Structure 1
Amino acid sequence: MRAYAIGDIHGHLDLLQIAHDRIAADRVATGDTTAPVIHIGDLVDRGPASPGVIDHLMHGIAQGAPWVVLKGNHDRMFSLWMQSPPARDHRLRPEYGWLHPRIGGADTLIAYGVRAALDRPEAPVHAEAQDRIPPAHLDFLANLPALHRHGDLLFAHAGIRPGVALADQTEDDLVWIRHDFLDDPRDHGPLVVHGHTAVERATHYGNRVNIDSSAAYGGPVTAVVFEGRDAWVLGPYGREPLLP
């Protein structure tokens, strides 16, 4: 069973389009027009074009593209902050808010035309954001699933809680978990494909594959193709084996 996956995007529309172009080239080479493309989440924050990323994905889905878009922790933080009054994700470290420079929410607001300077009170920034950000974008983000199963593959933004049945996984873990998942060497049953924890390049760990190749920090948005549990990174010249 073939499936494609795209790692964390973080507002980089140009890099997302490169990833989609590489998938399109692989589709031509294989003759496959129906295999799903699973976007692993973190559509927004830190990059310059979060609105364009959301528009691109919404348009593709509306046109019938076989795309699945999962919720990342940054997508959830954005959705929560846009509530009235703004809500804070309880899994975010207490010293940070969504607008903190290390988180990147201000970059998302600026891309929507909101003057998000940190020296402004939050209330007028929030009011301006509510005027400028399309409700359709917020609805899209709020309704994203956090988990997708395809054959012997399981896709989630951050990973899963090891030892917990898939039906009992919580969104908190699916979009936020880190070391309890990353440091667990056990076979999880399906091969878990995730992002969330930035690495230099897509990496196969045997029981999981991390495809967050640091687009938020100057790296690419990676596209990977899976056939069963076998994986290849889609590079500029085609498939490159991704081995444990």
Structure 2
Amino acid sequence: MLTYAIGDIHGRHDLLERLLEKIRDHAGGRPHRLVLLGDYIDRGPDSAGVVETVRALQAGAPDRVVPLMGNHEAMLLTALRHPAALEGWLLNGGIATLASYRVTDPHRIPAGVRAWLGTLPTSYEDEWRVFVHAGLMPGRPLSDQTEMDKIWIREPFLAADYDFGKHVVHGHTPLRSTDPEILRHRTNLDTAAVFGGALTAGVFEDGRGAPCAVLQVT
């Protein structure tokens, strides 16, 4: 079983479509799983298109497509519940998301989309890896990690390269290089697609934690 993990998309539907095609070509008919690390929305031009594509992928293969929650999805959900949080979301790219849905109020985003965002898990594990949006808190067992850390943490996670017993695959912190950051205990796949970088998928084989290959589009 191959697993493809895709880093932060942020409304770059054009890049997502091309990367999915590249993944299909690479898989060549072999069974594979797709894990998306969150941040489908905000900043880029077509958040609505990204969400539609990811939802369709999941609906077509719910046992093999795992979309995770990112901090930008969490910010939108918070803004829907708490009006005081709306400005913070808008300043962090939410204006572009509203534009992609041709609305000015997040409550006018289709109800099905809002409901789907609320179902997204904050992590996914297999035998060798833990997939999260942002990272994990060093020194804590996997079972004691908080939802907040999974979608928001940077430090001390990034500096520690801590051994959690499984390789941690994450995004959230955009890299200045188009190359993903592959370390001993973690891999960062956020290669800043929305800032002119690449959209990256790590390719993972059963039996090892770190990626065996990288697929990218720019």
Instruction: Calculate the TM-score normalised by the size of structure 1.
Output: 0.82
Spell out, residue by residue over 1:73-125, the C-alpha distance to the aligned partner (whole angstroms, 9 max, x if none): 00100111123x42539xxxxxx71111xx111111111112xxxxxxxxxx4
Task: Select 2:185's aligned residue among 207, 213, 219.
Answer: 207
Please name the residue that 1:99 is paired with.
90
Q: Is the 8 A contact 1:159 1:173 kept in 2?
A: yes
Structure 2 counterpart of 1:70, one-letter code: L
User: Is residue 2:194 matched to residue 1:194?
Assistant: no
Spell out, residue by residue over 1:134-187, the C-alpha distance to the aligned partner (whole angstroms, 9 max, x if none): 111111111100010012111000000111111111110000000110011332
Please name the residue that 1:11 is paired with.
11
Runs of 5+ in structure 1 lacking a partner? 90-95, 115-124, 237-244
Q: Which runs of 4+ in 1 moved over 6 A?
A: none
- SS of the equivalent of 2:35 reads strand
Distance 1:40 1:19 in 2: 14
Map 1:174-185 onto structure 2 (within 5 A): 174-185=150-161
User: Is residue 2:202 matched to residue 1:224?
Assistant: yes
Structure 1 counterpart of 2:22, one-letter code: R
Distance 1:47 1:196, change over 3 A: same
- Aligned CA RMSD, in angstroms, stands at 1.7
Deviation of 1:217 (Å): 0.6
Spell out, residue by residue over 1:12-44, the C-alpha distance to the aligned partner (whole angstroms, 9 max, x if none): 11111112111101110xx412x2110000010
Q: Is the 8 A contact 1:80 1:87 kept in 2?
A: no
- SS of the equivalent of 2:148 reads helix
Please name the residue that 1:118 is paired with.
none
Distance 1:79 1:185 in 2: 30
Higher helix proportion: 2
Task: Select 1:82's aligned residue among 80, 97, 101.
Answer: 80
User: Is residue 2:24 matched to residue 1:47?
Assistant: no
Spell out, residue by residue over 1:54-76, the C-alpha distance to the aligned partner (whole angstroms, 9 max, x if none): 11111111122621000000010
Distance 2:161 2:201 in 1: 24
Distance 1:235 1:76 in 2: 26
Distance 2:47 2:216 in 1: 24
Structure 1 counterpart of 2:167, one-letter code: L
- SS of the equivalent of 1:104 reads helix
Question: Alignment length, in residue pairs?
Answer: 211
- SS of the equivalent of 2:156 reads helix
Runs of 5+ in structure 2 lacking a partner? none
Structure 1 counterpart of 2:120, one-letter code: L
- Identity in percent: 40
User: Is residue 2:148 matched to residue 1:159?
Assistant: no
Deviation of 1:216 (Å): 2.0
- Mark the structure with the bigger radius of gyration: 1
Instruction: Calculate the TM-score normalised by the size of structure 2.
Output: 0.91
